[in-house]
Amino acid sequence: MRLFIAINLSDEMKDALIGVQNAMYDGGVRGNYTPEENMHLTLAFIGDTPDAQPVLDALAGVAFTPFPLTLEGFGCFGDLWWAGLRESAPLAAVARRVRRALAEAAIPFDRKRFSPHVTLIRRAAGKQPEIVLPPVSMTVTSVSLMRSDRGRNGMIYTELGTAEAKA
């Protein structure tokens, strides 16, 4: 199983991101656009693992309270274009707690620096348009363990379990 831990986005946030993607497409940008159902914020990428249960057990120990998440900014990593998120101490803290829980459980994960973003397009080609990202917000109330499977038309993400915020 290919696993990652993520924050799933609200419908309102996804709608705003689809609007940005549509503007990019109309502006001539081509590439592999992230489908609405796959939009998320990755906290930790685990990769291939034979058993999800140890990850679920580690995730269950991650404590956090609800916090806001707001779209802000736009950027790219080469030909991968993304929407950014407003700097947030609670977001950084939950990412650290998730990664610490994985490390303490000896679960290997990608230890690249956490850079909060939502992927909009992979293999983007075209002139990067002036993007005005609407400052849409949501409240994060859960963090999810996700499985990624290659489907006929791209990746299919399935939620395997969550850690819920404590009010």
Active site residues: 40, 117
14 in helix, strand or coil? helix
Residue 85 identity = L
Residue 139 identity = T
What is the side-by-side order of every strand in the sheet holding 30-33? 30-33, 117-125, 80-85, 67-77, 137-140
Burial 129-160 (b: 16+ CB within 10 A, else e): eeeebbebebebeebbbbebeeeeeeeebeee
